[in-house]
Amino acid sequence: MVDQATADEQYLAKADFQVLLDLLAGEGYEVIGPTLGEGAIVYGPLRSVADLPRGWTDEQEAGHYRLVRRNDEAWFGFVVGPQSWKQYLFPPRTRLLTAKCEHGTWKMQPAEEPVPKYAFLGVRACELAALDVQDRVFMHSAFPDPHYVQRRQQALVIAVNCTQAAPTCFCTSMATGPRCRQGFDLALTELAEGFVLEIGSPRGRELAARLPLAPASEQQCRDAADARAQAEQQITRHLATAGLRELLLSNLNHPHWDEVAARCLSCANCTMVCPTCFCSSVEEVSDLLGEQIARERVWDSCFNPQFSYVHGGLVRHNIRSRYRQWLTHKLATWHDQFGTSGCVGCGRCISWCPVGIDLTQEVAGFRAAADRALFDRRPGAGEHAASVSGQGRGPSGLSASRPFLQQPRGEAGRPLPDEAPELGQSDAPGSESPRSTEGR
Amino acid sequence: MTPSAPFVDPWQIHPVQIVEAVPESEGVTTYRLRYCGGGGKADYAFQPGQFNMLYVPGAGEMAISMSGEDRQAEGWLHTVRLAGVVTHAMSRLGVGGVLGMRGPFGKPWPLDNAQGCDVIVVAGGIGLAPLRPALQQLSAQRSAYGRLALLYGARTPSGLLYRNDYATWQDAGWQVELTVDRHEPGWTGRVGVVPQLFDRLRGLNTGRTVVFICGPEVMILFAARAALARGIPPQQIWVSLERHMQCGVGMCGHCQLGPLLLCRDGPVVRYDHAERWLQVEGL
Amino acid sequence: MGRPRLAVFKFASCDGCQLTVLSLEDELLQLAEAVDICYFLEASSRMEPGPYDVALVEGSVSTEEDLQRILEIRQNSRYLVTIGACATAGGIQALRNWGDHAEFLRCVYAKPEYIRSLAHSTPIAAHVPVDFELRGCPISKQQLLEVLAALLAGRRPKTPEHAVCLECKRRLAVCVAVARGVPCLGPVTQAGCGALCPAFGRGCYGCFGPAAQPNLAGLTNHLQAAGMAPRRLVSGLRLFNAAAPAFQQESDRLAALEEAER
């Protein structure tokens, strides 16, 4: 894709970057951005440019993430980590309502919690797309969620273009990146000494007017375009989306779901790290005497067996049906519900699956089976196909003779540990200090 | 980015009072509810087929369809079967008790689209409850519709709901056909399953007949098949489906059935939009 | 009607779960007002006889005397709630279920003939019907409060059955298995601890026992493929909840595998 510099591009020197942070703080924003924590690049409050993970990068593969030192001092020389911006707009726990019993009568009050005013710094293209997906769920609805809407409308978005990709990235397949094109107030592309800056909104223009900017030189614009092109060139993972919805929905009883279910732990990690997954449950938190109640919305997951409870039992009562729900929702029925795919190609569910299940490979498996079935159905092809696919046939005519997708373990660039530590033992030298849990 | 509709907090729960509790059958009670203090939400109105989230502090919320409007046109009815924590808590509250409510939510029965058509209402057990407001409205606007028939069954004769209403409906021009799974002393009516009651309907004008079905999921499937078998197109069959609804407004993900978010896209859905998904086990 | 009568009993255990009752702190006075604490030796020498409305039972059945005592407690209690890994799964002392009991006695005690313990440590539910099981080693204060509040309100307690991972990510902890290669039982262990260990950079030890519908083989296959020997997986699974059926079956399967390979 041709990536031409626009006339609007300006240059912010790294030496002046703290001005941006101070300006935002002065405007009452809580600046949130990438920072080091617990052996990963996580999101947290940024007060100084020193809080950024300068000189660090991430190494990612299916079921694998490691923080690695770079051989330069790049500020944003990594992709996406285990967290996403959803934890700020759709927090893991949100108080919705309190109820108090006074003289035998219940008083119900909406939860009145201050709405934080966030400035998100370092939002990647796939994450901009994820914000848009969650906007559709929580905001562009007949009944918008006030907790999300208030946070979202106040939030300032400063995007950062990726200049590299991880092996888990596939934003190009989902048409969400790597270039940030919309949904930001400001967008940055990192160069060695500074950033090429684009303006994406009136609010961004106001902010830019107060920054020590210079017009970007032609060379700077070219370097920025090259850096962005590098990210695109590094993307190797692919998810073929043409006809994907029908492919999955016409194979709901395919035996391959059983094969995935044997590997899937139904642990919910993929849904927790996913920047678009929005499933939640409301918990009733009561005091001992049941006189003071808080209703709190917590992140939940279609991988939680209890999630599909309907009086008398579980609808999705095994891992097969839960994995199927997740994959078909994410890639197929999300289109019906919200007019978009639920997947933005960030690759988090691949990296953070503790057993390394890769949705792009699972989809490729379904596709290969469908292609084989098509081949099988061609006149005259039956005999040959039978000898290839063996005896078993799935309900949809697809081959069921063998699991067509054996997850390669320890092959896909993933280093195997020489000797795994005992269960529960950390192998991290100088294990990080206990994290502060709440309030981030 | 600004929502166009006036901003309503879908999570806000309003206090409502139980003003009447009428036992219907074993474990089934119809509650008449009214906003506390009379005023405030006097403009509350719902369409037949929609539901409310009823809340008992400490116990939690549940989605329950409205089963009718109150006789004084003030307040509304919910028919509730004792099942879980919330229904038991509600039964303990009794008349005068205050609970919380959000709603109305969900897609109603398409009564306007059915104007000029024959309407067959098919219900099993407590599945008559979400259809009762539809029966009431169709009766009130009798002239706007063609032939009207109710096919209703329950496990036992004492499980048949709203027995005092049948005569009223018949007077309004409904053909009322009843059946039970199991005989009880004193029952002189039919014994058999609900879909068989389609045999009682002669000379269907299938092109201009609309069918509304609610009941246990298996009964819905068989009743819809019975309607299809008689030549009624799937686009004219509407069913009310149940999954665990929690937010009521399509943002918590609980009540999915394939592409449907049943609290938002349902609970009343066109059969051809649901049939494919109902047939997949564990979806 | 008087206040509900509460009793707390101890069987083979370390008292840690009873201490959780005492460490309710803020709620303890409220609890003492709401219920009549009739029997709780850890806290008071008062020993009111039954019947009790609620009996909290800590510990596993480990002696002949225990067997008799739990039957009496059951008869005297309207609701019997077991608390902790010992009471719900036999506890760490159930490791002897795989060993030679007589040999242990010989090795440990100068006069083993004075020791009368059963060859197996078993959960309370193996002997009497249990109304509710509260998992954990030790139990969680929040879950204990939920159980007490539910019993006072006359409803069934609501405690999650899903995996630890869900609450680990709810507190925004980074997965130790993926980011550091730390073997972690979180994906197959029931939530309730608040993902305490992973949040402090350690793998989950499985204190709350198996989650609902756990895929043990899915996890152990993966760890084996990553180079972990079956015997080490066996010792990982045989810990506080060694005799919980899902953990026991998987550790037995792996032990047999190890045996066969030898």
Q: pLDDT tens digits, chain B, 283 residues: what are they?
A: 343 444 678 999 988 999 999 999 999 999 999 888 655 455 678 999 999 999 999 889 999 999 998 655 678 999 999 988 899 999 998 999 999 999 999 999 999 999 999 999 999 999 999 999 999 999 999 999 999 999 999 999 999 999 999 999 999 999 999 999 999 999 999 999 999 999 999 888 999 999 999 999 999 999 999 999 999 999 999 999 988 999 999 999 999 999 999 999 999 999 999 999 999 999 9
Contact status of A267 with chain B (Cβ, < 8 Å): no
Q: Which residues 46-105 of chain A have a CB within 8 Å of chain B?
A: 96-97, 99, 101, 105
Counting as contact any 3 or more CB pairs under 8 A, the partners of B are A, C
Among B3, A304, B146, residue whose Cα is nearest residue C214: A304
Mean pLDDT lowest for which of C160-164, C242-246, C255-259? C255-259
Question: E strand or H helix at A67, and its extent?
Answer: strand A64-69
Q: How confident is the model at residue A378 (pLDDT cuts 50, 70, 90)?
A: low
pLDDT digits (tens, 9 = 90+) for A138-155: 999 999 999 999 999 999
d(CA C162, CA A262): 18
- Say how many residues make up chain A: 440
Pick from A108, A138, A293: which is nearest to B251 by CB?
Answer: A138
Q: Cβ of C169 and A263 within 8 Å?
A: no
Contact C207, C193 (CB under 8 A): yes
- In sequence order, the 6+-apart residues with CB closer than 8 A to the CB of B155 are B125, B180, B181, B182
Torsional sign, CA C222, C226, C227, C231: negative
Contact status of C110 with chain B (Cβ, < 8 Å): no
Q: At residue C248, does pLDDT exceed 90?
A: yes
Q: Both ends of chain B: CA-CA distance in Å?
A: 34
Higher-pLDDT residue of A102, C18: C18
d(CA A190, CA A412): 30
pLDDT value at residue C155: 84
Longest pairwise C-alpha distance within chain C? 66
d(CA A201, CA B56): 46
pLDDT value at residue B7: 61
Tell me phi and psi for residue C117, to 5 degrees.
-125, 155
**Region A174-186 average pLDDT:** 96
For chain A, give every domain's residue range: 10-92+115-234
Q: Cβ of A92 and C171 within 8 Å?
A: yes
pLDDT value at residue C262: 78
- Residues in chain C with CB shorter than 8 Å from the CB of B59 are 153, 155
Chain C closest-CA separation from residue A57 CA (Å): 13
Contact status of A309 with chain B (Cβ, < 8 Å): yes
Q: What is the 3-state secondary structure (H, E, C) of B118-157?
A: EEEEEEEHHHHHHHHHHHHHHHHCHHHCCCEEEEEEECCH
Q: Cβ of C227 and A419 within 8 Å?
A: yes
Of all residues in chain A, what percent carry a pLDDT higher than 70? 83
**Region A77-105 average pLDDT:** 94
Cross-strand pairs, C79: C54
Question: From the candidates B256, B276, B278, B281, which should be mutated to test the interface with A, based on the most A CB atoms within 10 A?
Answer: B256
Concatenated DSSP letters for B220-255? HHHHHHHHHHTT--GGGEEEE-----SSSSSSS-TT
pLDDT value at residue A440: 29
pLDDT value at residue C261: 83
d(CA A333, CA C96): 51
Q: How confident is the model at residue C154 (pLDDT cuts 50, 70, 90)?
A: confident
pLDDT value at residue A371: 83
Contact B75, B32 (CB under 8 A): yes
The pair of structure tokens assigned to B36 is 């506390």
CATH fold of B14-104, please? Elongation Factor Tu (Ef-tu); domain 3 (2.40.30)
- Dihedral of the CA atoms B157, B162, B168, B169 (nearest 10)? -80
Among A234, A145, A274, residue whose Cα is nearest residue B249: A145
pTM: 0.90
Question: Pairing state of beta strands B118-124 and B148-154?
Answer: parallel
Question: E strand or H helix at A65, and its extent?
Answer: strand A64-69
Size of interface A-B (CB pairs under 8 A): 138
d(CA A188, CA A10): 9
- In sequence order, the 6+-apart residues with CB closer than 8 A to the CB of A434 are C199, C200, C201
The pair of structure tokens assigned to B185 is 């002393």
Q: Which residues 128-167 of chain C have a CB within 8 Å of chain B?
A: 149, 153, 155-156
pLDDT value at residue B260: 97
Q: Cβ of B58 and C155 within 8 Å?
A: yes
pLDDT digits (tens, 9 = 90+) for B214-231: 999 999 999 999 999 999
Pick from A82, A290, A424: which is nearest to C174 by CB?
Answer: A82
Cα nearest neighbour of A136 on chain B: B251
For chain B, give every domain's residue range: 14-104, 118-278
Counting as contact any 3 or more CB pairs under 8 A, the partners of C are A, B
Q: How confident is the model at residue A392 (pLDDT cuts 50, 70, 90)?
A: very low
Contact B97, B67 (CB under 8 A): no
Of all residues in chain A, what percent carry a pLDDT higher than 90? 75
pLDDT digits (tens, 9 = 90+) for A14-54: 999 999 999 999 999 999 999 999 999 999 999 999 999 99
Torsional sign, CA A5, A6, A12, A14: negative
User: Given this chain, do its domains B14-104 and B118-278 carry the same CATH topology?
Assistant: no
**Region C229-243 average pLDDT:** 95
- Residues in chain C with CB shorter than 8 Å from the CB of A62 are none
Question: E strand or H helix at A194, and its extent?
Answer: strand A194-199
Chain A closest-CA separation from residue B37 CA (Å): 13
Q: Cβ of A308 and B5 within 8 Å?
A: no
Secondary structure (3-state) at C97? helix
Torsional sign, CA B77, B82, B87, B92: positive
CATH architecture for residues B118-278: 3-Layer(aba) Sandwich (3.40)
Tell me phi and psi for residue C57, to 5 degrees.
-120, 120
Contact status of B93 with chain A (Cβ, < 8 Å): no
Chain C closest-CA separation from residue B88 CA (Å): 9
Secondary structure (3-state) at C137? coil
- Residues in chain C with CB shorter than 8 Å from the CB of B86 are none
Question: From the candidates A95, A100, A113, A143, which should be mutated to test the interface with B, based on the most B CB atoms within 10 A?
Answer: A143
Torsional sign, CA B221, B227, B228, B230: positive
Contact status of A151 with chain B (Cβ, < 8 Å): no
Q: Cβ of A265 and C215 within 8 Å?
A: yes
Contact status of A429 with chain C (Cβ, < 8 Å): no
Q: How confident is the model at residue A391 (pLDDT cuts 50, 70, 90)?
A: very low
**Region A261-284 average pLDDT:** 97
Indicate the DSSP class of residue B41: S
Contact status of A94 with chain C (Cβ, < 8 Å): no
Contact B144, B115 (CB under 8 A): yes
pLDDT value at residue B210: 97
Q: Which residues 160-189 of chain C have a CB within 8 Å of chain A?
A: 160-163, 165-166, 169-188
Pick from B14, B247, B282: which is nearest to A317 by CB?
Answer: B282
Domains and CATH numbers, chain C: 5-153 (3.40.50.700), 164-261 (no CATH)
d(CA A155, CA A121): 10
Q: Both ends of chain C: CA-CA distance in Å?
A: 66
pLDDT value at residue B73: 61
The pair of structure tokens assigned to C14 is 């370390």
Q: Cβ of B58 and C153 within 8 Å?
A: yes
- Residues in chain A with CB shorter than 8 Å from the CB of C185 are 423-424
pLDDT value at residue B75: 86
Mean pLDDT lowest for which of A77-81, A136-140, C104-108? C104-108
Cα nearest neighbour of A430 on chain C: C201
Cα nearest neighbour of B88 on chain C: C155
CA C142 → CA B114, C19, C55, distances in Å? 53, 14, 18
